[in-house]
Amino acid sequence: MEVVYLSDILSIQKIRKRFKKNIVLNDISFNVPRGSIFAFLGLNGAGKSTLLNIIIQLLLPTSGKVVLNDCPILKNKFGVVFQENTFDDELTIYENMFIRGRLYNLSKKYLQRKIEEISFELELNPYLHKKYKLCSGGQKRLAMIARALISEPEIIIMDEPTVALDVEIRKKVWTYLLKLNKEENVTIFFSSHYIEEAALANNLSIIKSGKIVFTGTYKELIEKYSKKKLNVDLGDDVITKEISSVKNSLIYLNCLDINKIKTFSLENSSLEEVFLKIVHNENSCI
């Protein structure tokens, strides 16, 4: 039996999803700590969206369960940002947000205040009364994030939230989400195939072909999979070698002709390299 710690807001317990004969998710289990930023990573088609849809109850698991706050999931406890835009083109951002907010039984007065508050934070005010179809891609995405926050959720679940956004908008989105996480202890759970976004997370899981191949903190990921790379410039030649520790790199340097070494550097392998290593290594299951 899975143990749910009080500090965990979300617990995924042995989730299995089968579409006809195709097993899309195979015994997925992990816990999302309260107040954390949790990245759920995987290549396209790995099963990220399927699991997200199970968490938000759009799909039913074949077996296993999802527990929120130690109870069955309550829909008003989470906010969702879908990969696609789910607002009505013919309505304004304000109308779209207002209608969705009313579905959470929020009063008109509260909603008016809340929409203005969130729009101010996300700098959406100038576009609030603009038809959704006339907004830019970035404005549309910001509006979707604003919609997820309207019911003051304890956890925000986002499926590729910044896909197709330019760097500036992506930065704006994350600045606001990080602020929300820090100041209001809102848990942020997101899926992404932008590995650099994982650096923002303090916990992460990596899925490969429906199986979890890594769950842990960012630090644990780096410690476990990151190799050090030693670059030595010998003038007429450059040597690049994977080294397991600083001590070993010094031993290696001692073996070389010290007079020939012009410069040397020691660097960790990039997050992208770590990610690719995990998802392409068949035996990396943990």
Q: Name the site residues for other proteins (rule: CB under 8 A).
A: 56-60, 74-76, 78, 80, 82, 84, 86-88, 90-91, 95, 99-100, 102-105, 147
> Least separation, in Å, of the C-beta of 36 and other proteins?
21
Nearest CB to other proteins, comparing residues 78 and 214: 78
Nearest CB to other proteins, comparing residues 58 and 238: 58
> Least separation, in Å, of the C-beta of 153 and other proteins?
10
> Least separation, in Å, of the C-beta of 210 and other proteins?
17
Sequence letter at residue 262: K
Nearest CB to other proteins, comparing residues 27 and 95: 95
> Least separation, in Å, of the C-beta of 108 and other proteins?
10
> Least separation, in Å, of the C-beta of 151 and other proteins?
8
Nearest CB to other proteins, comparing residues 103 and 250: 103
Nearest CB to other proteins, comparing residues 105 and 240: 105
Instruction: Say how many C-beta atoms besides its own lie within 10 A of residue 50's C-beta.
Output: 21
**Nearest Cα residue to 191 out of 22, 70, 28:** 28
Token digits for 2?
A: 């899975």
Instruction: Collect all residues with Cβ–Cβ distance below 8 Å to 251 and sequence separation of at least 6.
Output: none
| DSSP string of the chain, one letter each residue | -----TTEEEEEEEEEEEETTEEEEEEEEEEEETT-EEEEEE-TTSSHHHHHHHHTTSS--SEEEEEETTEE--GGGEEEE-SS--S-TTSBHHHHHHHHHHTTT--HHHHHHHHHHHHHHTT-GGGTTSBGGGS-HHHHHHHHHHHHHTT--SEEEEESTTTT--HHHHHHHHHHHHHHHHHH--EEEEEES-HHHHTT-SEEEEEETTEEEEEEEHHHHHHHH--EEEEEE-SS-EEEEEES-HHHHHHHHHHS-TTT--EEEEEEPPHHHHHHHHHH-TT---
> Least separation, in Å, of the C-beta of 74 and other proteins?
8
> Least separation, in Å, of the C-beta of 101 and other proteins?
9
